[in-house]
Amino acid sequence: MIHLVFIRGWKLSLVIISFGSVIFITIAILFKVVIKLTIIELKAYGKAGIVAEEVISSIRTVLAYNGQEKEIHSYGILSLGQASPLIQAFYEARVAAYVIWQIIDEPSKINMNL
């Protein structure tokens, strides 16, 4: 039956075969990419698991030696140091907002009563 299709519609058969090979090559390439990305993802999950295990162990150690207050204080200072560069952005935003509100509150120079 298939050989009859190739004989009677050989032009269409050639087109289908050529596109079939392109599709096959594309699927093969995508399959390789998916495999590589899956391997990268599994390695990342492995590293994340190690970090999570270390964090949980550290939390247990801090709780065991009753050092919660010391760690809260040290990480509080650390987060303040990380946030301090952002304070300038807040000041710049306040200045920009002030300028925008001045423009909005300014009376219109266009006569709306026509």
Predicted confidence pLDDT, tens digits, the chain (114 residues): 667 777 778 788 888 888 888 999 999 999 999 999 999 999 998 998 888 888 888 877 777 777 777 777 767 766 767 777 778 888 888 999 998 999 888 887 777 676
CA distance 39 to 37: 5
pLDDT of residue 25: 93
Q: Which two tokens stand for residue 105?
A: 């509150």
Question: What's the number of CA atoms in the CB half-sphere (13 Å) around residue 1?
Answer: 0
Residue at 7 is within a domain:
yes
Residue 111 forms part of a structural domain: no
Task: Flag whether 63 is in a domain.
Answer: yes
Treating both helix axes as pointing N-terminal to C-terminal, what angle do 10-64 and 68-105 enclose, rounded to 10 degrees?
A: 120
Assigned domain for 89 exists: yes
DSSP alpha helix (H) spans, the chain? 2-8, 10-64, 68-105
The three-point CA angle 41-42-47 to 5° equals: 95
The total of structural domains in the chain comes to 1
The predicted structure's pLDDT at residue 114? 60
- The pTM score is 0.43
* Domain enclosing residue 81, as ranges: 2-105
Residue 107 is given by DSSP the state: P
The verdict on residue 16 lying in a domain is yes
Q: What is the pLDDT of residue 37?
A: 94
Report how far residue 15's alpha carbon sits from residue 17's, in angstroms, rounded to the nearest whole number. 5
Q: What is the pLDDT of residue 1?
A: 64
Q: What does the pLDDT read at residue 14?
A: 83
